[in-house]
């Protein structure tokens, strides 16, 4: 079986590091999908504007082609091992990904360009299918979802004064501020770092910014509360 790449994602996430681990966790995330020839005829998306949400089937192109039967999901702290087919890990046979995204609009250049929100796709992701979301066929009531019954917990995010000023000076400052908070509240650090004292600095790239942050942890007897503190926003050129 061979697959054609029907289109390519241009994403607010230049790097894998920091991307929320499912779509919808960062509703302010934006992307465009441009079609490759011969899939780029405007006829192909006729009527698609009637749908608010789409399934994007894509390839985890940055993941290695090798896979293993067992993976360690971050949700389980990075220690417990479960089957690759019981996970949404990117290290899977065929490296196929699936994301439910919001369709904001369609532009024509004259080939169609889909304007997407709430995605979890790294820049340059190759797309292999697009389907409209059908609520009555694509959702299950009272579904049991094992070790991931709810969205992952969120941390509080605090922006330094310097960051607030950088954002205020930009026309896209408000949406960018939302995106920074949504992404960092997921705690992008590797799972094994989460439950120790951690004094290092981290950076997540969002749009043209390197978002630099560190963790502040209050340790009370029997409690351990972390806050993400954003120190600086460095413009990448």
C-alpha of 85 from chain center: 20
Question: How far is it, in rounded angstroms, from Cα 56 to Cα 134?
Answer: 13
SS (H, E, C) 152-176: CCCCEEEECHHHHHHHHCCCCHHHH
C-beta of 83 vs 190, nearer to a copy of itself: 83
Binding characters for a copy of itself, 130-159, by CB under 8 A (x = yes):
xxxxxxxxxxx-xxxxxxx-xx--------
Which one among 77, 83, 105, 190 touches a copy of itself, defined by CB under 8 A? 83
Question: How far is it, in rounded angstroms, from Cα 118 to Cα 28?
Answer: 6
Which two tokens mark 114? 């889909």
Handedness of CA 233, 172, 125, 122 (dihedral sign): positive
Contact between 12 and 179 under an 8 Å Cβ cutoff? The reply is yes
Give, as ranges, the residues between 209 and 228 that touch a copy of itself (CB under 8 A). Answer: none
Which one among 12, 19, 45, 206 touches a copy of itself, defined by CB under 8 A? 45
Provide, rounded to whole angstroms, the least separation between the CB of residue 172 and a copy of itself. Answer: 25
Which one among 16, 62, 77, 85 touches a copy of itself, defined by CB under 8 A? 85
- Answer yes or no whether residue 64 interacts with a copy of itself by CB under 8 A: no
Contact between 99 and 130 under an 8 Å Cβ cutoff? The reply is no
Provide, rounded to whole angstroms, the least separation between the CB of residue 50 and a copy of itself. Answer: 3
Question: How far is it, in rounded angstroms, from Cα 236 to Cα 221?
Answer: 42
C-alpha of 199 from chain center: 25
Give, as ranges, the residues between 96 and 115 that touch a copy of itself (CB under 8 A). Answer: 96, 98, 100, 102
Bridge partners of residue 102, in order along the sequence: 53, 117
- Answer yes or no whether residue 173 interacts with a copy of itself by CB under 8 A: no
In eight-state DSSP terms, residue 148 is: -
Provide, rounded to whole angstroms, the least separation between the CB of residue 163 and a copy of itself. Answer: 29
- Answer yes or no whether residue 124 interacts with a copy of itself by CB under 8 A: no
- Answer yes or no whether residue 9 interacts with a copy of itself by CB under 8 A: no
C-beta of 3 vs 124, nearer to a copy of itself: 3
Question: How far is it, in rounded angstroms, from Cα 90 to Cα 73?
Answer: 10
C-beta of 103 vs 211, nearer to a copy of itself: 103
Which residues sit at the interface with a copy of itself, rule CB under 8 A?
A: 1-6, 22-25, 39, 41, 43-48, 50-53, 55, 57, 59, 69-70, 81-88, 92-94, 96, 98, 100, 102, 126, 128-140, 142-148, 150-151
């Amino acid at each position: 079986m061979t697959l054609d790449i029907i289109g390519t994602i241009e994403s607010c996430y230049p790097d894998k590091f920091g991307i929320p681990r499912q779509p919808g966790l960062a509703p302010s995330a934006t992307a465009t999908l441009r079609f490759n020839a011969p899939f780029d005829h405007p006829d192909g998306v006729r009527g698609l504007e009637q749908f608010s949400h789409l399934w994007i089937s894509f390839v985890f192109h940055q993941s290695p082609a090798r896979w293993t039967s067992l993976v360690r999901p971050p949700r389980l702290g990075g220690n417990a091992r479960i089957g690759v087919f019981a996970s949404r890990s990117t290290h899977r046979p065929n490296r196929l990904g699936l994301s439910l995204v919001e369709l904001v609009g369609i532009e024509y250049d004259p080939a169609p360009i889909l304007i997407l929100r709430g995605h979890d796709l790294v820049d340059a992701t190759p797309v292999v299918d697009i389907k409209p979301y059908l609520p009555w066929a694509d959702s299950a009531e009272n579904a049991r979802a094992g070790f991931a019954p709810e969205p992952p917990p969120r941390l509080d995010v605090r922006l330094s004064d310097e960051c607030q000023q950088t954002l205020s000076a930009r026309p896209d400052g408000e949406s960018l501020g939302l995106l920074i908070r949504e992404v960092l509240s997921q705690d992008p650090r590797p799972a094994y770092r989460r439950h120790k004292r951690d004094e290092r600095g981290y950076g997540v790239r969002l749009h043209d910014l390197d978002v630099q942050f560190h963790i502040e942890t209050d340790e009370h007897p029997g409690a351990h509360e972390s806050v993400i503190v954003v120190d600086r926003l460095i413009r990448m050129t």
